[in-house]
Amino acid sequence: MPAKKSRKSASNDISTKISALGPAKISSTLECALFIADKPGVPVAIANKEGESASYGGNIHEFEPAGPREKLYFDPSKTKCAVVTCGGLCPGINDVIRAIVMTAHHSYGVASVVGIRYGLQGFIPEFGHPLMELKPDKVASIHEFGGTVLASSRGPQKPTEIVDALERMNVSVLFLIGGDGTMQASLKIQEEVASRGLKLSIIGIPKTIDNDINFVPRSFGFDTAVEKATEAIRCAHTEALGAPNGIGMVKLMGRESGFIAAQATLALKDVNYVLIPEDPFELHGPAGFLHVLYERLRRRGHAVVVVAEGAGQDLLAASSETDASGNPVLRDICGLLRREIDTYFTAQNMEYTLKYIDPSYIIRSIPANANDRVYCGFLGQNAVHAAMAGKTGMVVSKLYGHYVHLPLDLVAGKRKKINTMSNYWQAVLQSTGQPVHMLSTLDQYPQGSTCRIGS
């Protein structure tokens, strides 16, 4: 008889166990609910190493399924929940807030849901941000608008001060909506809560428009971002066709991961070159971007270039500046490309027209589309189900069609990136038709053919 598989693999040290505040003893009053047992788990293949196919070289791990539980840990009539949104804006935040509030009030009848204003700053008394009482009539229509009704902020705050505030407010459940930095902060808050022996549930809802949170195949707002990005690409294509040797350049979000640029490229098929952080490229030399672009204009008379904001940072002088979240301030790759294109094409005596489009703040500020709204609704609902059952130190996500609970330490601290050896990236390259050797293989060129340009 084969041995039972462990929920922790020695080969890649992944633990899928979800912490609980204690035994759930209160019977749920949910009507028409299909209650979910904590076991059996949802089996998912996880690759052993980067670049390896999970289907053939991975280990099977069982993740705890999301959904309503028959027994609750918290008494809803005595439970106070808090919601906070952190980091940059993203389509769908208001949808998640609405789903949390509606589920908490209408499905469970919780005593109170409060909103923490302006991110983690809202916990710190010296900032003076007032709380917002979140009732169904207050959030009924917020999903029709972009942004977050709670507002947001960047930058760390001390976990001790945050937990002090939670104790003062008598909060039982904290929902944190944010990206990688927020998930790291959530983990520290949960550790502080545990060290004090508090019965306080910490539930994360992963948010990042870049789609770069570890173990989260698709973050909410990504579908909307790609849809809006294709509009900018379509405009760039029209502009490129409207003049001799026309170039349409679109800058998209993607600090360390080029998922929006890649997915929008696949969606529209009008892109000729896509540059992402995961795949370095060269400007000069026989296989450099400038020469390749020049040759395309000679052949076809137009080109569309999509650039993720974090692409080509190695071509620019390094910056010692950091933003409020501690991330290195990115240098202007599109500014460099536009200057170098002008210099190169002038030397080649080629007249050209370049139209530059940066839709970043438009993309992140719009309301979610229909697909993301459905997704946000399920995330918010399942976050409340998990919290009322006493789960803590976890996030809600969707893995291969199943909503599951993920431990915070799995998603915090590591960004997901495009595997440039994958079939997905090969499909992007096939869609653009750009030369494979324009990217990656820097050591194939003769010495002196590469060039690093300072800002």
Confidence category of residue 6, pLDDT binned at 50, 70, 90:
very low
Question: How many folded domains does the chain comprise?
Answer: 2
Residue span of the structural domain in which 232 resides: 226-364+419-444
Check whether residue 353 and residue 395 sit in a common domain.
no
Does position 420 have pLDDT exceeding 60, yes or no? yes
Query: Which CATH number goes with the domain that contains 343?
Result: 3.40.50.460
Q: Return the pLDDT at 439.
A: 59
Measuring CA to CA, which residue among 239, 255, 265 is closest to residue 356? 239
- pLDDT at residue number 43: 84
- Is residue 397 a contact partner of residue 208, using CB atoms and an 8 Å limit? no
Q: What is the pLDDT of residue 32?
A: 75
Residue 432 lies in a domain: yes
3-state secondary structure 100-162: HHHHHHHHHCCCEEEEECCHHHHHCHHHCCCCEECCHHHHCCHHHCCCCCCCCCCCCCCHHHH
Any domain includes 4: no
pLDDT band with cut points at 50, 70 and 90 for residue 12: low
pLDDT of amino acid 189: 97
CATH of the domain at 62: 3.40.50.450
Task: Give yes or no: residues 152 and 212 share one domain.
Answer: yes
In a domain, 22, yes or no: no
Q: What is the pLDDT of residue 188?
A: 97
Same domain (yes/no): 309, 266: yes
281 occurs within a structural domain? yes
Distance (Å, rounded) from C-alpha 240 to C-alpha 59? 47
Dist CA 323 CA 329 (whole Å)? 6
Residues labelled catalytic = 210
Sort 210 into a burial class: Cβ within 10 Å, 0-12 / 13-18 / 19+.
Answer: buried
Residue 8 is assigned to a structural domain of this protein: no
Residues 53 and 157 reside in one and the same domain: yes
Q: Considering the domain boundaries, does residue 129 fall inside one?
A: yes
Residues 48 and 182 in one domain: yes
Examine the domain organization and report whether 234 and 358 are in the same domain: yes
Q: Is the pLDDT confidence value at 383 over 90?
A: yes
Segments in 152-303 forming alpha helices (H): 159-169, 180-196, 222-241, 259-268, 289-300
Judge whether residue 292 has pLDDT over 90. Answer: yes
Residue 350 lies in a domain: yes
Residue 351 and residue 298 share a domain: yes
Please state the pTM of the whole predicted model.
0.90
- Output the pLDDT for position 40: 66
Q: Are residues 204 and 295 in the same domain?
A: no
Tell me: do 107 and 215 sit in the same domain.
yes
Token output for 375: 């997704």
Together in a domain, 139 and 175: yes
Residue 193 and residue 315 in one domain = no
- pLDDT category of residue 175 using cuts at 50, 70 and 90: very high
| pLDDT band at residue 53 using 50, 70 and 90 as cut-offs | very low
User: Alpha-carbon distance 124 to 114, whole Å?
Assistant: 15
Residues 159 and 200 both lie in one domain? yes
Task: With respect to residue 80, please indicate whether it lies within any of the assigned structural domains.
Answer: yes
What is the rounded distance in angstroms from the CA atom of residue 339 to the CA atom of residue 453? 11
